Structure 1
C-alpha cells in the first residue's frame, strides 16, 4: 500500500498591497496530542492514554499564480510527520505517519482563528494482528497502512510570530483491504500546538482577487492496478485491474466535476470460480460457464476533484451495474464460524439483507493524484498518477495505483 504526496494571474487587493501579498510565508508546527484509542473489536486489548507528537511544515499560499488558493480563500497546505503511541506497547504498539494536509479558515467572520485541518497519507505500524500471539487486536494486519486525520483548531494566543493553538480531532489507520482482519485503528484526541511563522505576515480578511469566472470541458481516462484479499480464509493479496473514462467540466481552474464509466476484473473472484469454491457449487454453479465475465464489475460514476496545482484530491461515487460475485464476497466476509463442544466447526454465512443490497449497488473511491504539469497553467494535455482507496459504499474493497491522461477543450471565459 502506498500513497502520494499533497497550486495565473496577478492579484488585486482591498486594503493591502500586491507586494505584501506576494511575500508568501512558510510556517512550522510542533504539536502534542493526548487521547484514546477506540476499541476496534470485541475483546480488543485494553489501552491507556494515547500519546502523539507531530511536526508539520506548511505554506500560506499567497502567490499570485495560485488561482486555486484564491478561489478557496487562501488555505494553508503542507506535510506532517507524526509519532503515535496507542497506549499498549505490547499488543497495539506505535505508528509513524506521513500526511500531506490542507487547512481552511472556518466561519472567519463569526469565529476568528478557527480552522479545519484534513490530512491524508500513509503510516507504518510496528504491531499487528497475529492469530497466535496477538489474536484480539483485529485492527491492523499490515505494517504499511493508509492514514487519515481530521481536526478543528482554535488559535488562543498570537505573539511574536507564534500562534498557540488548541485542537480536537480524529485519527485513523487501516490497510485498504489488502489483508484481513482490517477493523482499523480509530482515535479521538485533543492537542496543544505552537505554529511558528518563518517571518512576520499580516493577513487581511478583505483580500480580493481579479480572476475571471471561466470553465473548460475535459475528457479523461485511466488505467489502474490494485490489490485486495477475498476473505480471512483467502487472505493472499491478488490483483484488481481497472479502466475508466469520464468527461465533464473544470470550473475556475479549481473544481472538476464529471461522470463516466468503469470496468474492473478481480483475480480473487476468477480464481474462486475456477477452483469451484464451496459457495459457488452450492449457489451459483452457472458461474463456471463464464469465469471471466462473472469475475468482472462495471458501472457508472460521478466524480469530483479539487485541483491544487500539481496535486488533485478526488472523490467518486458510483453505481454498480454488474458485480455478480459480490454475493459470495459478502457472505464470506460478513459470516463467522465457531466450534461446538464436540469440536465440530460451524460456519454461518453473512445474511443477504437490505444492507447487502445497498453495498452491492453503491461504490466509492477516494484518493490523491499527482499531475505532471501544474493545473495552474490550464494545460491542454496532462498526465497523472494516482493512489486511491476503492470501497463498497464506505467499506474498503481494494487499494489502487493508477496512471491516466486528461484533455481540456472549449475554454470559456465570462464577460464580467
Structure 2
C-alpha cells in the first residue's frame, strides 16, 4: 500500500508539472512524522504516525493580501496517513482547503521565507470504531471526520525550486455525531520540495484606502443555527440517533486589521440531548424547555482571508443546568470536567456572500464544532449577518 500511495503522488505531481496551464502555480510534495497525543484514557497503543502530502497552490494576485503579505496562496492539500496502528487505527486519506501567508527575510529577495498555513477539510479512515469488529478504536467513531490543521514553515527558494521544513498540528473530530470521538491530535514535522511554474513574484507595496476605511469599525452581528450530536460520552458510545440543538446569538464585532476581527456575543441554545438526559435521569426540571437550554457569553478572534473566515471562540456558561448535573452525577467530578461545565468554545469557518474587503454589512454561512473546554460537543451549521456601513467609500 505504501508503494502505491507514493506512486500516486509521483504520477500526479508529474502530470501537473507538465501542464501548468491548469492554473496551478506551485506543486509541493512532502513527508511527515509525529506522535499522536494520548489526550484521553484507554486510547489504543500506537507507534510513530507518518505519511505524505501533495499541496496544490494558486496565487491570489491583485488583492489587498498580496500587498500586505507578499505572496499569499490558496489551494488544496491531499494527504495520506499511517496512523501508527494498522490493526486498530488503520490508515487515512485527507483533503483540505488551504491558505498560506508569507513573510520574507529581506525586502527584495524572496530567497528565505516564513509561511503560516491553515487547512480545513475532511479525513476518511479505513478502520473506524465498530462494536463487534473494532471496539478498541475510540479515536475515530466514524469513517468521515472533519480535519483541521495549522502550522508554520521555513523555506529556501532557488529559482523555481523550493525546499522547506514545516511544523503542523493536525486535529480531527466528527463533532460527536458518531461516538466514540476522541479525535486525532498530532503535532508533526515534515520536509518538503516544491516546484513553481512562475518566477517568484515581488509584490508591489500598495495601499488600499477603500478597505482601510473598514478597519477599526464596529458591527452588529446576528446569527442562528442548528447542531447535531449523539447522546453519550467521548469514549462511551450509545448507538443512539442524533439529536438537534437550536442556537441564536447576538453581539458585536471589531475589525482591527486587514485579516483580524474580534467578536463578542451572547448566545442561547435549546438542546434535545439535554432533554433526553433530564427524562432518563428523572431530573424533571420545572420548565422542560428552560431545563434543556443554555446561555453563554462568547469572545473570539476571526482570521479573514478574502470571503473566508476562521473563527476561534471561548466563553463562559451563564446558565446550563443539565451540563452541571451531568458533570456532577454522571461524569467524574475532576478539575478537567469541572472546567468543561464552565468554559464553552467553538471552532468555525465562515463564507461571506458579500466580500468583507469592501463591505461591513452582509450575510455569511458558517460550519463549526462547538466544544466544552476544547472537547467536541456538537456539529453546528448556521447563517448570520453583519450590520454596519454598507460599502467602503472610494477616495
Of 368, 381, 387 in structure 1, the residue corresponding to residue 349 of structure 2 is 368
Q: Check whether the contact 1:217–1:411 (CA below 8 A) recurs between aligned residues.
A: no
SS where residue 388 of structure 2 aligns?
A: strand
Q: Which has the higher contact order (CA 8 A, sep 6+)?
A: 1
Aligned partners of 1:79 and 1:98 also within 8 Å: yes
Instruction: Tell me how far apart the structure 2 counterparts of residues 143 and 272 of structure 1 sit (CA, whole Å).
Output: 27
Please say if 1:224 is aligned against 2:217.
no
**Displacement of 1:243 after TM fit?**
1.0
Aligned to 1:145: 145
Preserved contact between residue 262 and residue 298 of structure 1 (Cα < 8 Å): yes
1:393 partnered with 2:373: yes
- Are 1:265 and 2:270 an aligned pair? yes
- The structural deviation recorded for 1:81 is 1.6
Question: Which structure has the greater CA radius of gyration?
Answer: 1
**TM-score relative to the length of structure 1:** 0.77
Q: Is 1:384 matched up with 2:374? A: no
- Give SS of 2:175's match: coil
For 1:144 and 1:333, the matched residues in 2 are separated by 29
Q: 1:62 to 1:292 in 2, by over 3 A?
A: same
Are the structure 2 counterparts of residues 297 and 71 from structure 1 closer, same or farther at C-alpha, using a change threshold of 3 Å? Answer: farther
Q: Which residue of 2 aligns with 1:249?
A: 254
1:19 is matched with none
Mind listing any 5+ residue stretches in structure 1 that lack a counterpart? 1-23, 335-349
The 8 Å contact of residues 70 and 104 in structure 2, kept in 1 or not, is answered as no
CA distance in 2 between counterparts of 1:113 and 1:389 reads: 33
SS in 1 for 2:321: coil
1:9 corresponds to which residue?
none
| Superposed displacement of residue 355, structure 1 | 4.0
1:305-350 deviation digits (Å, cap 9, x = unpaired): 222222111122222211111123325763xxxxxxxxxxxxxxx1
- 8 Å contact from structure 1 (residues 214, 251) kept in 2: no
CA shift in 2, pair 1:117/1:102, >3 Å: same
Change (3 A) 1:174 1:258: closer
Aligned residue number for residue 299 of structure 2 = 302
Q: Take 2:303 and 2:152, find their aligned partners in 1: how far apart are those partners?
A: 21
Structure 2 CA distance, aligned partners of 1:170 and 1:154?
Answer: 16
Alpha-carbon deviation of 1:52?
Answer: 1.6
- Report how far residue 72 of structure 1 moved: 4.6
How far does residue 161 in structure 1 lie from its aligned partner after superposition?
0.4
Aligned residues: 362
How far, CA to CA, are the matches of 1:326 and 1:165 in structure 2?
46
Q: Is the 8 A contact 1:140 1:182 kept in 2?
A: yes
What is the distance in 1 between the residues matched to 2:42 and 2:342?
Answer: 33
RMSD over aligned Cα, in angstroms? 3.0
Counterpart for residue 33 of structure 1: 32
Q: Is the 8 A contact 2:294 2:319 kept in 1?
A: yes
The Cα of 1:138 is off from its aligned counterpart by: 1.2
SS at match of 2:341: helix
Q: CA 1:376/1:410 → structure 2, altered by over 3 Å: closer, same or farther?
A: closer
In the TM superposition, what are the counterparts of 1:184-223 in structure 2 within 5 Å? 184-203=183-202, 207-212=204-209, 213-215=212-214, 216-223=217-224
User: Deviations for 1:114-155, whole angstroms, at most 9, x for unmatched residues?
Assistant: 333222221111211223322222111011112122333222
